[in-house]
Each structure stands twice: as structure tokens, then as C-alpha cells.
Structure 1
Amino acid sequence: MAEVEDGRRGGRLPAWLDWVITIAVGVALALLVRTFVAEVYIVPSGSMLETIQEGDRLVGEKVTYRGSTPRRGDVVTFDDPEKPGTTLIKRVIATGGQTVDLKDGHVYVDGKQLDEPYVLDKPTYPLEQQSSILGEAIAYPYKVPDGCIWVMGDNRTNSLDSRYFGPVSTSKVSSRALFIFWPISDARGL
């Protein structure tokens, strides 16, 4: 290990103090990266099947949305509107000002049916149950408010998403999912 001077001529820090400082700087750097650059997430549910498997570990980067907003098709992490402190992962279907409609098992945005190969031909229907935070049922077509996004899980028949809790404020988005790194068999970009 390199010797570190303590500011006095010829003086050196004791080895134990050198180790403590090195570890403290390492921890501080790791916390800064986790807070401002990227974070690892473990996926706890199957709401994004087959794109993301339950138990997959992925990296979400936090830099992109500091200067822009999520776009349709992005896979994002965000704070659960019902359980603060819980992070959810879903796909952005529409952004502020766009109109979402669900007809005949398909999703339409601004009147155009989406091509969604990632849902593996599973139908998309409105959810009968609604979140208590909404106060009223979502009626379709639904116009996404400015500053918000409409998100859905890829496993449409088993996902509580914007059909349940409504639009998500872009201020609640914590990262854009980049890639799955574990298990190795599932490793790939998103």
C-alpha cells in the first residue's frame, strides 16, 4: 500500500488509519455511484415476464432522466404509488399528453394500435380492481397528464400497473433499466 503523509515533515499515517481512510473513501464513492449514477435491482415478481424473470438482477442507470424524460418503450424503475420505499419496474406505454385506450385486448396510443411483441400475444384489458389512491375508476380512452407516464408490465394478465394505480409522475422515476446481469443465463440488454 502506498505511504500517505499526514502533513508533517517525514510523518506518516499509521497503517490502520490508512486502511480506515481507504475503506471510508471506497464506501463514499460506492454510495455516490448508487445515488447518482446506477443501482442494482432484484426483480421480486413476474409482472414483466417474459422480458424479465422473477429473481433477475439488473442495472438501472440514473443519469439519462436528469436531462430528459422517459420515452415510450423504456423499461423504468419508479417508486410504488401505494407503498413508498418500494421500487417497481414496468415499461413506458405513453407519456404526458398522449391518450391510452384499451380495445379488444389491444393497447392504442393516440388512436394507433401498439406493436408489442414482448407481451407474447397476451391480451390487455382494463383491470376491474382499482387502487384506493385513485379515488375513482380509470375510464378509457385516458389522457395521460403532462409530467406523467403510463406504465404497464409485459405480463399483462398478471401486472398491477397504471391500469390499477393510474399515471406515474416522472419525478418518481428512479432509473432506466439497462441490462440484466444475473443469472448469467438471463443476461442481456433491455
Structure 2
Amino acid sequence: MSSARSVFFEYVQSILIAVVLALLIRTFIFQPFYIPSGSMEPTLQVRDRIIVSKFYYRFTEPEIGDVLVFKYPVNESQDFIKRVVGRPGDVVELRDSQLYVNDIMIPESYIKEPHYGDFGPLEINAGEYFVLGDNRNNSKDSRDWGIVPEDNLVGKAHIIFWPLNRIGVIE
């Protein structure tokens, strides 16, 4: 009888350790996310599932071109995903369907189509980031609701893991 009880408690202990490790990993290291909209097409498709590194920005700052997950500044209970196009101290402008950062045109091979309309120039303050969707004509982003505070950053999107035919690194 004590042998069966010992095996039972060993299983319970193993399950508890696995649950605690999974929670720690999800909370501090990696987290899966689901893509619900087409605002990041063609880079990310509706229903893609991705892995986000939550510790990445503890060691480095977001760079222009990074795809990141952040808490939506208007409603922090929601997570959004967009591409960084402006960092602290940068001046961001959209004109003639081109992105300019500090008056330098940034080539954007990842956007779905040229965007309509101009924006800016806007200087980004310390501790803030300007983000845009890759599907500029179908994206609510910093042009609509403003900048993303550094405190709202969740992590860097690294890998598409689902669907299987789209597995790969996010560029």
C-alpha cells in the first residue's frame, strides 16, 4: 500500500513541478501569442501563432524593424503586435508612401502595399516607441493612438510555430 501511495505522490510532485516551471517560463521567458487580425500582413497572417521572447528587451532596446508585442496604450488589458519604426530621439515621417526616420528614407520590403496618406513629422520622446503595422492601409497603430511607452513592451516576436507550413523566424 505504501508503495502505491509513494508512486502517487511522486506523480503529483512531478506534475506540480512541471506546472510551476511552465508558469515561470511563460511569465518571464517565452510566451505564445495568436494573431487575430491582418494588420501585420504579409509578415504575419491571421491565425498565425508565434513565440515572443519576454526577456529579450531586458538586455537590449528595440531596434527599427523589430516586430514586438506590447500592451495597447489605450487598453492595457489587450496585447498588440506591430513593427518598431521610431525609437527615442528619432523624428518619424510618412510622406509620398515612404517612411522617413531622421530624414533618411527607410526601405520597407516587408509592407503589404504602399500606404496612403502622410503623417508627421513627429519626434519620439525618451522611453517611447513609434510602431506601425506592415499592412499600413489596414492597421490601427501609432498614427491613430500615439506612441508606445517603454513600460508597455511585452517582448520581441521571434518565431511562427503554427500553422506548420509557415514555421520560421520572423524577420
TM-score norm. by structure 2 comes to 0.93
Letter in 1 for 2:44: I
Q: CA RMSD in A?
A: 1.6
Give the whole-Å Cα distance in 2 for the aligned partners of 1:181 and 1:44.
15
Corresponding residue SS for 1:141: strand
After TM superposition, give the deviation of residue 14 of structure 1 in Å: 2.3
In the alignment, what sits opposite 2:156?
176
Shift of 1:173: 0.8
Matches within 5 A, 1:1-190: 14-126=6-118, 140-190=120-170
Whole-angstrom CA distance in 2 between matches of 1:18 and 1:184: 35
CA distance in 2, matches of 1:125, 1:64: 34
More strand by share: 2
Give how far 1:19 is off. Answer: 1.4
- 3-state secondary structure, aligned to 2:157: strand
Distance between the aligned counterparts of 1:164 and 1:184, measured in 2? 34
Aligned residues of 1:150 and 1:166 also touching (Cα < 8 A): yes
Q: State the shift of 1:97 in Å.
A: 0.4
CA distance in 1, matches of 2:106, 2:156: 21
Name the structure 2 match of 1:129. Answer: none
Residues 147-174 of structure 1: per-residue CA shift (max 9 Å, x gap)? 1111000000000000011110122111
Q: Deviations over 1:86-128 (max 9, x none)?
A: 11000000100000011112111000111001114322535xx
* Percent identity for Structure 1 against Structure 2: 35
Q: CA deviation at 1:12?
A: 9.7
Work out the number of aligned pairs and report it.
168
Report the residue type matching 1:44 in the other structure. P
SS in 2 for 1:118: coil
Is 1:102–1:108's contact at 8 Å kept on the other side of the alignment?
yes
User: C-alpha offsets along residues 19-54 of structure 1, whole Å, 9 cap, x if unaligned?
Assistant: 111111100000000011100000011000011000
Structure 2 unaligned residues grouped into runs of 5+? none
TM-score, normalization: structure 1? 0.84
The equivalent of 1:135 in structure 2 is none
- Alpha-carbon offset, residue 140 of structure 1: 1.7
Would the aligned equivalents of 2:113 and 2:136 in 1 still touch at CA under 8 Å?
no
